[in-house]
Amino acid sequence: MNPKRTLIITEWGKIDIDKIAAICGDEAKAKKYFDELEEFAKGKNNDKFLRFHGKATLQAKNFVGLLQTKSGFCVEILPKIYRDRESIDCECEEKYKFDKESFKDKMAYFGADLDSTSKDSANVGESKKSAESKSPIDSTNPANSPNSKNLKTCPLCASKQILLNCLESLKDSPFKKNDLANLNINKLPLLEIFVIMFIDEVEKLVKQGIKSDYVEKSQNRKFLKGKLLFGENLKHNLAHKERFFTQSDEFIADIAPNRLIVSTLHLLYQGSFSPKTSVRLNQLRFIFDEIRASCNISADFAKCRISRHFKAYELVLKWCEIFLCHKAWTPYSGADLAFAFLLDMNKLFESFVTKMLKIHAKDYEIEAQAEHSPKHLINTANGDKFKLLPDIVARLKKSGESKILIIDTKWKNIDSLNKIAQSDLYQVFAYACKYANTSDTQTPDSKIKVLLIYPEIRPYNTQESHENSADLSDLITPQNPENLANWHFKANKIPITLIFFPLF
């Protein structure tokens, strides 16, 4: 994809003709691109993605991903992890690589925070000291803290990496098994990254072998093969006794899953990508050359049933559905865009936290929002009202112990107590009160904890401390020695803890 036709902004960033013209270098084209985005914003319910901010300015909301107009102009919307930045550029001198080991260290620290919620506050310090002694990182020295690398990290690369990490945590998505380690993500547009992921999966499929299947074919032949269709034979061959209209089962590769792959390859080959990506697409088109493209995409998707024989096609077909059906988990209206891939960052953050807890909180059984039964704020004889459904419920798996963690995630930039919304505290307060001594849990108040989780967001390229950090608590989170502390208060004898979750 031509970088001169891609505008990169963060959540709540603004789009106007001047910004587009600065990228494409042509005011006439910039106006055309802006008009296409403006028409999309006017579509029914599309104001949740883009809203009008003045007469000639559009503003993104909290949905991240990308929008591509029919003229080929693309807007990438990345997570806002640094304050006072609406548009960002790559500042990396070398290829950016996600440091998985560093992230594991941060999650180890977070695990200590999670474990500390199951102990009295008097014992919290000891548990954290124990975690520090096991970690190879000296948390008392900011220069050696796990976050010290983040201070030098390019904002564009960090935002892209966070988005890709969150996408990997989505259920029923094709991102789960993709290895991005070899991708130079700071130089590639998001759409091309997605295309490369699709190519990787198709190449894996080719190495395993393109599948064939028995397909029922009816054809007028010069020889007798299969079952003779008498009605059709009389209709077509009354004057041609040497021919036979027959029906037979043939083992061929021209089947629905392969036709969908061919259609996706043809669609993507029309795009403007880097030479290397274009070459890989063309090579795959050559491999599938004898298979025709789908004539009815909906009907072919309906025919795709992932059995054991076609297990290798599962991720590939999910990618085909994204590209061919514009399926991006969030519906939009109108036909003003060529491609839209937009997801609510609140849901992505919740999904990411859930996945990380399942990996690192081994002692807990983690239930996502859709997996546990809701409670209600008011229970009356006429029915229950005002549903309470926490984002995550974690139950201790150890026999003989009964502990429950009620977790609520918030994708918000919090750097002081003054920025914590009253509604967030009221919400977790209601959870704390409702889950205390309920008949279905039979768990004492002292064994129920409530966690309010915000993302670990800090100022870009600075070592300044967040304001009010000294006033919150004397308990400083190990991964943030100069940042906010875990903040504890109680509701109905149930501790409520504010925790900042590492992102990369």
State pLDDT tens for residues 191-232. Answer: 888 899 999 999 999 999 998 888 777 778 877 777 777 788
Mean pLDDT (the chain) is: 75
Same domain for 203 and 320?
Answer: yes
pLDDT band at 20 (very low <50, low <70, confident <90, very high): very high
| pLDDT for residue 337 | 66
Same domain for 354 and 495?
Answer: yes
Same domain for 67 and 137?
Answer: no
The answer to whether residue 422 is domain-embedded is: yes
**Distance of alpha carbon 6 from the chain centroid:** 21
The answer to whether residue 219 is domain-embedded is: no
Same domain for 440 and 396?
Answer: yes
Same domain for 385 and 420?
Answer: yes
The answer to whether residue 231 is domain-embedded is: no
Q: How many domains does the chain have?
A: 3
The answer to whether residue 248 is domain-embedded is: no
What is the total residue count of the chain? 504
| Cα separation values, 220 from 35, 215, 231, 295, 450, Å | 53, 16, 12, 22, 71
Q: What is the pLDDT of residues 176-201, one digit of tens each?
A: 666 665 666 667 888 888 899 999 99
Same domain for 13 and 125?
Answer: no
Q: Letter for the amino acid at 180?
A: L
Identify the domain containing residue 184 by its residue range.
174-211+255-328
The answer to whether residue 295 is domain-embedded is: yes
Same domain for 183 and 323?
Answer: yes
pLDDT band at 485 (very low <50, low <70, confident <90, very high): very low
Same domain for 438 and 486?
Answer: yes
Locate 272 and state its tokens: 């403007």
The answer to whether residue 227 is domain-embedded is: no
* Helices and strands, counts by H and E, the chain: 14, 18
Same domain for 383 and 466?
Answer: yes
The answer to whether residue 183 is domain-embedded is: yes
d(CA 372, CA 389): 8
H runs (alpha helix) in 172-291: 190-208, 230-237, 256-269, 275-287
List, in sequence order, every residue forming a beta bridge with 75; answer none if it has no partner.
7, 67
Place of tokens 């089947």: 255
d(CA 447, CA 453): 19
Same domain for 488 and 353?
Answer: yes
Residue 316: count other Cβ atoms within 10 Å of its Cβ.
Answer: 22
DSSP class per residue in 420-439: S-HHHHHHHHHHHHHTTT-T
| pLDDT for residue 413 | 82
| pLDDT for residue 37 | 92
Under 8 Å CB-to-CB from 386, ≥6 apart: which residues? 376, 377, 378
d(CA 113, CA 497): 10
Domain final residue, candidates 78, 113, 138: 78
| Cα separation values, 429 from 417, 423, 492, Å | 16, 10, 8
Same domain for 410 and 297?
Answer: no
Same domain for 433 and 460?
Answer: yes
